[in-house]
Amino acid sequence: MRGFFVSVEGGEGSGKTTVCQHLGEWLKERGYPVIVSSEPGSTAIGESIRQLLLMERVRDPKTEALLFLAARAEHVDQVLRPHLLDGGIVICDRFTDSTLAYQGFGLGLAIGELERFNDWVTAGLKPDLTILLDIDPELGLKRSQRETVFERRDLSFHQRVRAGYLWLAKREPHRFRIVTASGALEQVLQETRRVVEDALILRGITVVSG
């Protein structure tokens, strides 16, 4: 039986990394074969690409998109697909929707082209559930503890990214669940646990509450 794939998406400062780590620990405590992964990264090539992107030498949006896609191809092949084929659960910090939101809506690349490339590098792999941590970009940027090339982009870029995510969620309501990320952390974590538990139950996978 194929496993269960959860992606966590959102803008800067939305708390994706914290949520992913929390969900991974929560499921692991209940005995589930879960891994927590992230993009770009999680493989040797992916980590090299991540460092290249953070060095601010990439200026062309197409180059940026292709680097993310290359990292994703490695990630799917080496990490995600093998674990899912073994029946495991994956919690992934960013996946294909990030490319559409950031390089598509944010930087203006054609959504259709990006979707075709996404399908190619993933061989059609899609999350069973995508949690969108929605937050006002201005608040998210204030909360962010990082200062990478992405945080330094102007506010209008981040507003376009948020609008893109909300558009994607509206287009695929069966896959997306929107969680407001502007509140207290414990409230956000509790809501994401509930969303994951509900999704697993629908798949016939029982999670012991706690």
Instruction: Establish if 147 belongs to a structural domain.
Output: yes
Domain that holds residue 51: 4-202
Contact status, residue 37 vs residue 93, Cβ threshold 8 Å = yes
209 located within any domain: no
What are the pLDDT tens digits along the chain (210 aa)?
479 999 999 999 999 999 999 999 999 998 899 999 999 988 999 999 998 888 777 789 999 999 999 999 999 999 999 999 999 999 999 999 999 999 999 999 999 999 999 999 999 999 999 999 999 999 999 988 777 788 889 999 999 999 999 999 999 999 999 999 999 999 999 999 999 999 999 888 765 544
3-state secondary structure 42-98: CCHHHHHHHHHHHCCCCCCHHHHHHHHHHHHHHHHHHHHHHHHHCCCEEEEECCHHH
Residue 210 lies in a domain: no
Number of domains in the chain: 1
Asked, for residue 142, whether it belongs to a domain, the answer is: yes
Written as six digits, the tokens of 129 are: 């559930």
Question: 118: buried, middle or exposed (CB in 10 Å: 19+, 13-18, 0-12)?
Answer: buried
Q: Is residue 208 part of a domain?
A: no
Q: Does 146 map to a domain?
A: yes
- CATH number of domain containing 196: 3.40.50.300
Report d(CA 10, CA 12) in Å as an integer.
Answer: 7
Q: Specify if 154 maps to a domain.
A: yes
